[in-house]
Structures are given as structure tokens and as C-alpha cells.
């Protein structure tokens, strides 16, 4: 059992939802996010849900790369070890390239990919010291293709994250360190709450149960919820761009 689990971006959305599901299963949790007041609320909720677990929280902006290493190691020292680290923090700001929203696109690129590198570096350093651990990156079904408008940079960062994760998995083959990449389909969360028409979207609790089930299987790649994404991801790879345009 991966007793001690660290989740970034855990104050809301998928991060909070995964924390709730792991708490039900009896895992100790190390949770970090920028909004510490939100984390306090999550901590109280988790401890009420399962008084037998330890919940540690810390404020962290993942774009402060030095702080990422500091906070991860503080969590490790507090809990004694970190058995699984979930790189979840991200954002979905952005607009079509060349329409005056460079700063929004840049923020998404920095948070979703550059900051993810820092988190993976910090996580794998700890796992190498422990000679054990499970690194999980939360990518997206959008990693499979290019998308337009607000999705353009977002999808590109997720494709980069998927590739990064595969590279780490190859590098760590035949070691006690596992590496998994999870590709959520459309799950209702703060990042997409203003989007009205989304195909196959599921509620946060449904999506997070599927995420946790996939993470626990520790497969190299997973696509969740399994319906319809377990087979839909094959179709997306070969779909004509005219169809991809309609989806975004």
C-alpha cells in the first residue's frame, strides 16, 4: 500500500477530489496549493471523513521552483517517507495564438509544464533516496491532439507532460520506482466550470473515483473514466482535424 501520498494543486478540483477518495481508503496525505485557507478547509473535511489518517498541508506555488524542493522534502521528513507523489497542479488560461493573450498562454505553459519538471525532479530525487516510490502525472485526453482557441497551449503542455512522463518511465525501468501518466477525459472542475457544451463530461466525484482507481493500478498510461476514453483515445489519434475542430 502506498501509505503516504503527496498531491499538488490539492485545494480544489481534481486534487481535492482525489484527496477525498484516498482519505476514504486510509492513506495519509500531504497536500499543497497556493490557497492555504482552502487547504485548511480540505484538511478539516478529510479528518472528519477519516480521523485515523494524518493530513499535512503547506502553501506552495509550483512556479516557485526552489519552494517545490523545500516543501516536498518537508513533507517527507514529517511523514517519514513519501510513497506516491501526484503532479496535479495546473491551469487552463489561454486563447488563440496571436490574439493578444500571450501572458495567459505563457502562464499556462509555465505552470503546466515547467513547474511540472520541478515537481518531477523533486519527487524522483526523494524516490531515488528511498529506493521506492510511485510518481503520477495528471495529463489530459487533450494531450493526444492539437486543439484550437483556449485549448491550444493547454493541449500542447499536456502532450509535453505525457512525453516527459514516458521518458522518466524509460529512465527508471527495472528500478523500484514506478511512473504513471493519467489522462482524464472531461471532468467537471474549476478549470472548466464556465464551459457549457463538453462531450462525455462527468461530475467531479465520479471523475475522481475513476482517477484514483486508475492510479492505484499503477499502469504506465491510463485514460479515465474508462467509458468512453479507454477506447475513444484510439479514435482521437486518427480523427480528421475537422472533427477535432468541432470538439474544441
Evaluate whether 35 touches 60 at the Cβ level (below 8 Å): no
Active-site residue numbers? 154
Q: Kindly indicate the confidence band of residue 92, based on its pLDDT and cuts at 50, 70 and 90.
A: very high
Q: How many residues does this entry show for the chain?
A: 248
Range of the domain at 180: 4-247
Nearest 10 degrees: CA dihedral of 148, 229, 91, 42? Answer: 160
Residue 37: CATH number of its domain = 3.40.50.720
Secondary structure letter of residue 134 according to DSSP = E
Beta strands per DSSP E along the chain: 4-8, 28-33, 55-59, 84-87, 133-138, 177-184, 221-224
Q: Kindly indicate the confidence band of residue 229, based on its pLDDT and cuts at 50, 70 and 90.
A: confident
In the chain, the number of structural domains is: 1
Q: How many CB atoms lie within 10 A of CB 226?
A: 14
Q: Kindly indicate the confidence band of residue 235, based on its pLDDT and cuts at 50, 70 and 90.
A: confident
The structure's pTM equals 0.93
Task: Give me the long-range contacts of 200-203 (CB less than 8 A, separation at least 24).
Answer: 200/228, 200/229, 200/232
pLDDT per residue as tens digits for the range 147-156: 899 999 999 9
pLDDT per residue as tens digits for the range 24-44: 999 999 999 999 999 999 999
Evaluate whether 15 touches 9 at the Cβ level (below 8 Å): yes
Amino acid at each position: 500500500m502506498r501509505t503516504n501520498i503527496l498531491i499538488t494543486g490539492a485545494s480544489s478540483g481534481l486534487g481535492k477530489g482525489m484527496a477525498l477518495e484516498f482519505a476514504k481508503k486510509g492513506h495519509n496525505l500531504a497536500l499543497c496549493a497556493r490557497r492555504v485557507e482552502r487547504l485548511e478547509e480540505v484538511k478539516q473535511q478529510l479528518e472528519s471523513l477519516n480521523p485515523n489518517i494524518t493530513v499535512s498541508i503547506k502553501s506552495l506555488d509550483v512556479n516557485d521552483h526552489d519552494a517545490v524542493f523545500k516543501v516536498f522534502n518537508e513533507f517527507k521528513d514529517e511523514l517519514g517517507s513519501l510513497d506516491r507523489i501526484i503532479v496535479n497542479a495546473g491551469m487552463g488560461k489561454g486563447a488563440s495564438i496571436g490574439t493578444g493573450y500571450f501572458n495567459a498562454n505563457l502562464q499556462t505553459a509555465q505552470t503546466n509544464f515547467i513547474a511540472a519538471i520541478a515537481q518531477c525532479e523533486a519527487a524522483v530525487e526523494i524516490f531515488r533516496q528511498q529506493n521506492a516510490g510511485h510518481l503520477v502525472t495528471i495529463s489530459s485526453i487533450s494531450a493526444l491532439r492539437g486543439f484550437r482557441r483556449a485549448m491550444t497551449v493547454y493541449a500542447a503542455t499536456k502532450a509535453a507532460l505525457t512525453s516527459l512522463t514516458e521518458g522518466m518511465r524509460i529512465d527508471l525501468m527495472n528500478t523500484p520506482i514506478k511512473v504513471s501518466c493519467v489522462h482524464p477525459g472531461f471532468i467537471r472542475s474549476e478549470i472548466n466550470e464556465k464551459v457549457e457544451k463538453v462531450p462525455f463530461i462527468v461530475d467531479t466525484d465520479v471523475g475522481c473515483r475513476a482517477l484514483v482507481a486508475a492510479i492505484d493500478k499503477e499502469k504506465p498510461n491510463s485514460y479515465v473514466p474508462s467509458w468512453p476514453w479507454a477506447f475513444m483515445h484510439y479514435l482521437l489519434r486518427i480523427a480528421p482535424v475537422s472533427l477535432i475542430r468541432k470538439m474544441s
